[in-house]
Amino acid sequence: MKAIFLLCCLGLFNPVFAEELTGLGGKPDDPTPMPEQRKWKDQEPLERNYVQQPPLIPHAIDNYEINVKVNKCLTCHSWTNYKQNKATKLSTTHFTNRDGIDLATVSGRRYFCTQCHVPQTDAKPLVENTFKPIQSLQPQ
């Protein structure tokens, strides 16, 4: 027993250990490959599939901060700023709080825009989908 322990310490069993280590995620010096990043580009807005759908974001939003102090999205989409930026203004639903009261500022439940709005990408659908909106409520 002592002999095996010693051999290990001397590094004579190293090949075995080296193999085990690579199995655990590569040698320490190997750079970890980055997952492929989605490339978002500014595009024509995709048509909405149904009227209540949060529209997809047709532009990149990298580094757009949304926190208690700043909301980058509102610098273009608020009612004060939308014209100047040629952006779509928030719809009035964004000002209604959960008790159905219309507020003067964006309601807390609509403040974190990316909870509902995500950038467009041409990713393949994960499952087949044959959804069609009812005729009388076709989005324009």
* Residue 34 C-beta: closest distance to ligand HEC, Å: 23
Q: Which of 88, 30, 35 is nearest to 58 (CA)?
A: 88
Residue type at position 69: K
* Contact assessment for residue 56 and residue 46, using Cβ atoms and an 8 Å cutoff: yes
- Residue 119 dihedral angles phi and psi, to the nearest 5°: -65, 150
Q: Please identify which residue in 22, 49, 97, 114 interacts with ligand HEC, judged by CB under 6 A.
A: 114
CB of 128 to ligand HEC, least distance (A): 24
Largest Cα–Cα distance in the chain? 83
Cα gap 113→62, rounded to integer Å: 14
Tokens of 106: 């964006």
- Judged by CB, which is closer to ligand HEC: 20, or 62? 62
Least separation in angstroms between CB 82 and ligand HEC: 8
Q: Does 117 bind ligand HEC (CB under 6 A)?
A: yes
Restricted to residues 68-107, the positions that interact with ligand HEC (CB under 6 A) are 71-77, 85-88, 90-91, 93-94, 106
Q: Taking the complex as a whole, how short is the minimal distance between the CB of residue 69 and ligand HEC, in angstroms? A: 14
- Which token pair is 30? 């190997």
- Contact positions toward ligand HEC, by CB under 6 A? 45, 52, 54-55, 57-59, 61, 64, 71-77, 85-88, 90-91, 93-94, 106, 109-117
